[in-house]
Amino acid sequence: QVLELVMPSRDLIDGWSEFRALRRNLDRLREDESKTDEALQEQFDDLTSVTRGMRVLLIGGAAREDNRRLLERVFDFDKLDWESYEDTKPAMLEGLEQRVRNRGVELVLILKSFIRHHVPEKLRPLCEQYGIPCLMVEHGYGPAQIADTLRRGLLKTV
């Protein structure tokens, strides 16, 4: 987790001998991510022509930064925001609705297993009204599950 936090600042620690081990581990992590990304990108190559550059909102579950970044890289999204949804915060749903109204997103993905039924009941019609695809991810939130959802929802309409 520390490596992931420091990764964006990797270039700032060049030349500092005290951080030699940190740089080595950051470089290893970057290399591992690159290999994983390449393999996954080949697997989902049919989707990237559609998903490249999209601003995406993922709703549900507990937002995991490592998975969020992986999905963003693999599908070449411009930006992927992952919002954990808690039933106890009605203002959160209003904020999500406002993002759709403001056209701050181009695709909404809802993790069906991790949210209550009233979320898609409110968001799907709103997304439809604004011409924004709103897709339900049936199970999980890994690249394969997201890809299946994207294929069913986006490739049929393209």
Q: What is the pLDDT of residues 30-69, one digit of tens each?
A: 776 666 666 666 788 889 999 999 999 999 988 888 889 8
CB atoms within 10 A of CB 55: 15
Nearest 10 degrees: Cα torsion 146, 148, 149, 153: 140
Average pLDDT over residues 67-84: 92
Of residues 48 and 19, more confidently modeled = 48
Nearest 10 degrees: Cα torsion 23, 27, 33, 34: 150
Residue 155: its pLDDT value, please? 85
Q: What is the pLDDT of residues 106-131, one digit of tens each?
A: 999 999 988 877 788 889 999 999 99
Helix (H) or strand (E) holding 45: helix 45-51
As a whole-number percent, the residues of the chain with pLDDT over 70 amount to 82
- The side-by-side arrangement of strands in the sheet containing 134-137 is 79-83, 55-59, 107-111, 134-137
